[in-house]
Structure 1
Amino acid sequence: MRVVRFLAIVGVVLCGAVASRAQDGDGGGDGGSGSAFVVSNIDVDVAGKSTDEARLAAFREAQRQAWPQLWARMTGNPPAQAPKLNDGALDSMVAGIEVDAERFSLKRYIGRLSVIFDRVRAGKYFGNDVATMSSPPMLLLPVLTDAGASTVYETQSPWLRAWSRYRPGSSPMQYVRATTVVGDSVLLNAYQSRRDDRALWRNILNRFRAADVLTAEAKLDRTYPGGPVIGSFVARHGPDATELTRFRLQIRSSTQLDRMLDQAVSRIDAAYGQALREGRLRSDPTLTADLAPPVNLAPVIAMTAVSASGVELNVATPDATTWSSVESALRSTPTVSGVTLVSLSLGGTSRIRIGHSDSYDWLLYNLDQRGLRIDVGEGGLRLRRKVAGDVVVPRPIVTEEAIDGGETNVTPVPAPAATPRPAGGPTNLLPEQ
C-alpha cells in the first residue's frame, strides 16, 4: 500500500508544524505536472493510538474527502453522486499526499493536505466527455486592492502569489498569466480590467495568444496591522467584466492570509469551471474577429477550405455535450470517413475537419438529411443546424456519360428557390447562429 510505504520511510522524520511533500516514489508526477489531478485544502483532524496511526488515518480521510470533490469538478455533477470507492480503490488511484501544514501530538493529527490522483487511473471513472472539457486559453488578471491601492502584475502581491501556487491539474480552465516585467505590468493594470476598448483588447489577447479575459478581484479590509482581515472576492469574465460569482472570507490574523487567498483561488476556479460547463463563458466575437471582409472574399475562403478529401469548418460549441452530439451526428453521416478536431473552444467556436469519401455535393446532401447545413460565415465555412426557410439540398444526379474507362460523372442540380423546410431530422444538434 502506497501510503503505508511512505509512512514507513518518512514517518520518523516528520515533526512540528511544517510544510512538506509526501509523495510515493513510484506514483509519478507531482501536482504541477500534466499527469496528475490535485485536490488541495483538505482539512483533517484525526485521533489514533499513536502519532503514525493518527497520521495514516488522516491521509485516508483526506483521500475520502478529495475523491467526491475531484469527481464533481471533472463531471459537473454533485459530489454526492460520485462513485462510492473503498480505501483499496482510492489507494490505487492516489499518487501521493502533500502536507501543506500539520500539527500533531502523541495521539492526534491536525493538518491541511493536498491529494494527488493519477490522471489515467482516476480518469476511467469520469466518462468520455471529460476529455473534451477544456476552455480555450484565457488571460487571467488577478486584481488585488489592499490599503486603497490596486495592483495586477506590477508586483509580487499575495494575491498573485496565491495564483502562482495554484496548480490547475484538475481544472478545465487554461489560464494564461503574464509576467511582472515592465511591459506587461504597464499594459495589464487594474484600470484595463474595467476598460471596454475592443481594439485594445484584441491587441492584448493577440499578444498573449488568448481567446478571452478572466478577472479575479480580491479586496482586503484590515482591522489593524496583524489583526483580522476580511476578503471580498469577485470572479468576472470578458472585457465587460460580467460578474460570475461574489463571496467574502474572514480570518482572525494576517498570519492566515495565504490560506484564505488559496481558498479563494480554488472557489474562483470552481466558478469559472461551472460557468464553462453551463456555456456562460462564450468568447466575444469582437475580441478575436477582425473587421468583416469584403463580400467578394467569401467565395475565396470557401474554396480554400475545401479539398478533394475533406473540408475544414467552424462550429459553435457552447459546451462539451453539444460537441459530443455534433461529433456523433457527423460520424453517422453516410460518406463521412472521419472527423478531426483541429481546435476546441468550449463556450466559443471550434474548428473541425470532415473527411469524406465522395464528392462535396454528396457531403452537402447527406448532411442536409441529418438536419445540418454548411454555409459561409465570418472566418470561413461553418457548420450549423437547419432553420426554417433553408432550401432543400437536392440529391446529386448521376449521369451515364462514360469517362475514361466507364466511370460515371456526378453532376449536381442547381439549388432551387426557397422551399419549405423538410419535416423530420434532428433539429437541436447545434445552437442558433
Structure 2
Amino acid sequence: MTHSSSLPAAVRDGIFRPTLRSGLIALAVLVLAVLAGRALLAQVEGDRGIAAVVSSSDIDVGGIQVDVRGDNAEDAQKKGWAEAQRLAWKKLGGPELSDSQLDSMVTAVVIDQERIGPRRYIATLGVIFDRARAGRMLGSGAQRARSAPMLLVPVTFEGGTARVYEMVNPWQRAWAEYQAGGSRIDYVRPSGANGDSLLITYGQTSRRSRIWWRNVLDQFDAADVLIPIVHLERQWPGGPVEGRFTARYGPDNTYLGSFTLTAENDADIPRMFGQAVERMDDVFEQALADGKLRPDPTLNLGAPTLDPALQRLIEIGRAAEANERARRDAASASAAAETEAPPEAPSTPAAAVSSYVVQFASPDGGSVDATLAAVRAAPGVRGAATSSLAIGGTSVMRVSFGGTLEQLAAALRGRGFTVTQGNNALAISR
C-alpha cells in the first residue's frame, strides 16, 4: 500500500494509459505520412529514363545477313562487309556501282551479330550511307516529305498489365535506340524520366478529351500521337515468346495495322523488338503515304478558320446590317431635331481586355474540361487556357477578361463558383 501511494497521481488515477495510447496513435499517423510521401516520390523517382539516340539524317539499312569465306579471318570479315554494302545498296534500289564508289558513301557498318572463324565470317550487319552523297544516286526517293512531329507512346502488355514508362522495358528501349533519321516519320520520343511516367500512361491513350491531349502534346512540341502496342505471350517458361504488334494513331486510338513475330526465348526478345520497330515504322510510313497520318484538326485550339465563301456571306450580312442601322439613326436624328432633347451622357469607353491568373482544383481530366467550359461561358470572358496542369491538385489557367479583377470575380460568382480574390489572381472552387 505504501508502495502504490508513492506513485504519481496521474498514474494512480489511470491518466497515463490514454496519454500513452494517444502518443502511439500520433506516432503511427506520422509514420504513415512519411511512408505516403515516399510512395508519391517513388512514382517519379528511379532509374526509368532511356534517352533516345540522336537521329542522323543518314540512310540506315539494317538486317543484312552475310556468310562469306576468305583466306583468313581478317580477309573473310573484309569480304563480308563489302558484300553487306552491296546488298544494302541493292535493297535501297540504287544503280550499279563499284565497291570503291560504295565505300565513299558508307559512313558506318553496324554489327548486330557476328561469328568469326579461321576462314569464315557469318554476321547480321547494318550499313549507313551518307544521305548527301547517296541521295544524288537514289534520286527523289531520298527527298521524301516527312510527317508532322508525332509523340510516341510505346505500350507493352505482359501478364495482364499495361505499362509505358512506369519502369524500364525492352519495348521502350527498342524505340529509344532506333535510328529514325532515315524515316519519313518525325518521332518525338520522351525519355520516360521524371514526370513523363505520370503524364504519359496507357490510360491516356483511351482519353478522348482534345483539351487534355493538347496540353500533353504541348509539353513535347508534338502535333499528334502514335501508339505502337505489343502483347507478349510466353508459350512456356524459357520457351518461345509471341509478340502481337498493333499500330494505332491519334486521340481516337485509330487502328493502322498489325503483325505477329516470335522470339525463341527471353534472350531473343531484343532482336524481335528491333525487327518489330522497323516493321512498325513501315506501317506508319504507309499510313502517311495514304494520307491517314495527318494531325487531327480538332487538336488545334487556336482561332477557327472559316470557309472563304462563308466569310464573304458574313461580311455581306454585316454590311447590310450597318446600312440599316445608319438609315434608322438618320431617321431618329431628323425626328429629334424637331424637339429639344436633353444632353446625352458621355458614352462609357469599352473596357480593356486584361489577362488574369485563376487557380482551380483539378481532381481529374473531366473536372479540367468542365471548369474551363464554365469560365469561358462567364460574361466578359474572351478566352481561357490552362498554363499549369496538376491532376489531383491545383491547376492554373490564364483568363482574358474585358474588365477589372473585381468584375471577373463577380462574373465567376454568377457562374456558381466560390471565388477567393488575391493580388491580381483568383482562386475558384465549386
Q: TM-score, normalised by structure 1?
A: 0.55
Matched residue, 1:169: 181
Q: Distance in 1 between matches of 2:264 and 2:210?
A: 42
The answer (yes or no) to whether the contact 2:56–2:179 under 8 Å persists in 1 is: no
Structure 2 residue 63 is matched with structure 1 residue 41 = yes
Q: Secondary structure at the match of 1:220?
A: strand
Q: Answer yes or no: is the 8 Å Cα contact 1:166–1:265 preserved in 2.
A: yes
User: In the alignment, which residue of structure 2 is the partner of 1:56?
Assistant: 78
**Which whole-Å CA distance do the structure 2 matches of 1:122 and 1:37 have between them?**
8
Q: Indicate how the Cα distance of structure 1 residues 120 and 291 shifts in structure 2: closer, same or farther if over 3 A, else same.
A: closer
Aligned-partner residue type, residue 134 of structure 1: R
How many aligned residue pairs are there?
260
Match of 1:285 in 2: 297
2:255 maps to 1:233: no
Contact 2:56 2:182 in 1 (8 A): no
Q: What is the alpha-carbon distance in structure 2 between the residues aligned to residue 191 and residue 273 of structure 1? A: 26
2:167 to 155, 163, 166: 155
Map 1:4-403 → 2, pairs under 5 A: 32=54, 34-69=56-91, 71=92, 79=93, 82-128=94-140, 130-131=142-143, 133-290=145-302, 292=304
How much does 1:105 deviate?
1.1
Would the aligned equivalents of 2:157 and 2:163 in 1 still touch at CA under 8 Å?
A: yes
Stretches of structure 1 lacking an aligned partner (at least 5 in a row): 1-30, 72-78, 300-433
Q: 1:63 to 1:139 in 2, by over 3 A?
A: same
- Judged with a 3 Å threshold, the aligned counterparts in structure 2 of structure 1 residues 194 and 32 are, in CA distance, closer, same or farther, namely same
State the distance in 2 between where 1:180 and 1:104 align: 38
1:189–1:110 Cα change, 3 Å = same
Distance in 1 (CA, whole Å) between partners of 2:290 and 2:98 is 31
Match of 2:138, SS?
coil
Distance apart, 1:288 and its partner CA: 2.1
What displacement does 1:250 show? 0.8
Letter in 2 for 1:207: Q
Q: For the structure 1 residues 192 and 33, does the alpha-carbon distance in structure 2 shift closer, same or farther, using more than 3 Å as the test? A: closer
Query: 1:179 offset after TM fit, Å?
Result: 2.9
Distance 2:285 2:138 in 1: 16
In percent, how many aligned pairs have the same letter?
44
Deviation track 1:200-235 (CA, whole Å, cap 9, x = no partner) reads 111111221111110001111112333211111111
Decide whether the 8 Å contact of 2:64 with 2:125 is kept in 1.
yes
- In the aligned structure 2, how far is the partner of 1:185 from the partner of 1:212? 19
**Where does structure 2 lack aligned partners over 5 or more consecutive residues?**
1-52, 313-430
Instruction: Report the Cα distance in structure 1 between the residues aligned to 2:141 and 2:106, rounded to whole angstroms.
Output: 22
- RMSD (Å), alpha carbons: 2.7
The C-alpha deviation readout for 1:40-70, integer Å capped at 9, x for no partner, is 222222223321222122112211222244x
8 Å CA contact 2:55–2:180 kept in 1: the answer is no
- Partner-residue secondary structure (3-state), 2:281: helix
Q: Aligned partners of 1:233, 1:294: CA distance in 2, in Å? A: 40
| Equivalent position SS for 2:181 | coil
Counterpart contact for 1:43–1:113, Cα < 8 Å: yes
Structure 2 counterpart of 1:326: none
CA contact (8 A) 1:142 1:217 kept: yes
Q: Secondary structure at the match of 1:113?
A: strand
8 Å contact from structure 1 (residues 154, 182) kept in 2 = no
Shift in alpha-carbon separation, 1:292–1:87, aligned structure 2, 3 A: same
The separation in 2 between residues aligned to 1:133 and 1:294, in whole angstroms, is 28
Task: Please give the secondary structure, in 1, of the residue aligned with 2:191.
Answer: coil
Whole-Å separation in 1 of the counterparts to 2:305 and 2:292:
28
Relative to 1, partners in 2 of residues 1:84 and 1:200: Cα closer, same or farther, differing over 3 Å? same
> 1:385 matched to which residue of 2?
none
Q: CA deviation at 1:261?
A: 0.4
CA apart distance, 1:32: 4.5
CA distance in 2, matches of 1:293, 1:114: 47
Secondary structure at the counterpart of residue 137 of structure 2: coil
Equivalent in the alignment of 1:399: none
For residues 130-169 of structure 1, the C-alpha deviation after alignment (integer angstroms, 9 at most, x for no partner) is 4351111100010011122111111111100111111112
Return the offset for 1:269.
1.0
* CA-to-aligned-CA distance 1:10-34 (integer Å, 9 cap, x gap): xxxxxxxxxxxxxxxxxxxxx9453
SS of aligned partner of 1:225: coil
Q: In the alignment, is the contact (CA less than 8 A) between 2:261 and 2:272 conserved in 1?
A: yes
Q: Which residue in 1 is equivalent to 2:28?
A: none
